[in-house]
């Protein structure tokens, strides 16, 4: 699913506009699989699969594959609909420099949930 994020985000001009001031690299961790995603002015310009020796990123979202798969269902089950729902239940950790994430929360929530759109197709 993660490989679909770039295409889905970049095709959504409203989402790219919402993220027009975002330039950063963040990491998604699924079990022990690491992926770095580079964002430049709201567009995902690089998706780099790990492993990494010295990954350089601002923030990281970490959860099990089981949790991510439920989160990315077209209509996720109760408790899996939102990042903070997962954080509250301690099913996801959000770590690192959270400033880009919190300052652009509506943008990142849609970026990270983008695979739901693919699942709907």
Partner 1 sequence: MSPRFEPISGRYLHVELLDKPHRLYVEEAGQGVPLLCLHTAGSDARQYRALMNDKRITANFRVIAFDMPWHGKSSPPAGWQGVEYQLTSSDYMRMILEVVDALELDSPVAMGCSIGGRIVLHLAHEYPERFRALIGLESAAHTEAYYDLSWLDRPDVHGGMVCAGVVSGLVAPIAPTVHRWETLWHYMQSGPGVFKGDLNFYMIDGDIRDRVDKIDIERCPLFLLTGEYDYSCTSEGTLDIARRTGASATIMRGLGHFPMSEDPEKFISYLLPVLEKIREQ
The helix (run of H) or strand (run of E) holding residue 100 is helix 99-103
119 lies in the binding site for partner 1 (CB under 8 A): no
Closest distance to partner 1 from the beta carbon of 77 (Å):
10
97 lies in the binding site for partner 1 (CB under 8 A): no
Q: Which window, 9-17, 27-35, 43-51, 72-80, contacts partner 1 (CB under 8 A)?
A: 72-80
Here the tokens at position 26 are 């963040």
86 neighbors 76 (Cβ within 8 angstroms) = no
82 lies in the binding site for partner 1 (CB under 8 A): yes
SS3 of 24-35: the string is EEEEEEECCEEE
Give the distance between the most distant pair of CA atoms in the chain.
37
Binding site for partner 1 (CB under 8 A): 75-76, 78-79, 81-85, 87-89, 98-99, 102-106, 109
């Amino acid at each position: 699913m993660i490989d679909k994020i770039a295409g889905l985000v970049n095709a959504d001009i409203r989402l790219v506009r919402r993220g027009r001031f975002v330039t950063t690299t963040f990491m998604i961790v699924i079990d022990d699989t690491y992926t770095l995603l580079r964002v430049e002015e709201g567009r995902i310009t690089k998706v780099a699969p790990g492993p990494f020796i010295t990954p350089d990123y601002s923030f990281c979202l970490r959860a099990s594959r089981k949790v991510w798969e439920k989160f990315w269902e077209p209509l996720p089950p109760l408790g899996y609909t939102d990042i903070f729902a997962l954080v509250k239940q301690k099913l996801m950790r959000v770590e690192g420099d959270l400033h880009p994430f919190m300052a652009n929360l509506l943008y990142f929530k849609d970026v990270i949930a983008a695979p739901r759109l693919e699942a709907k197709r």
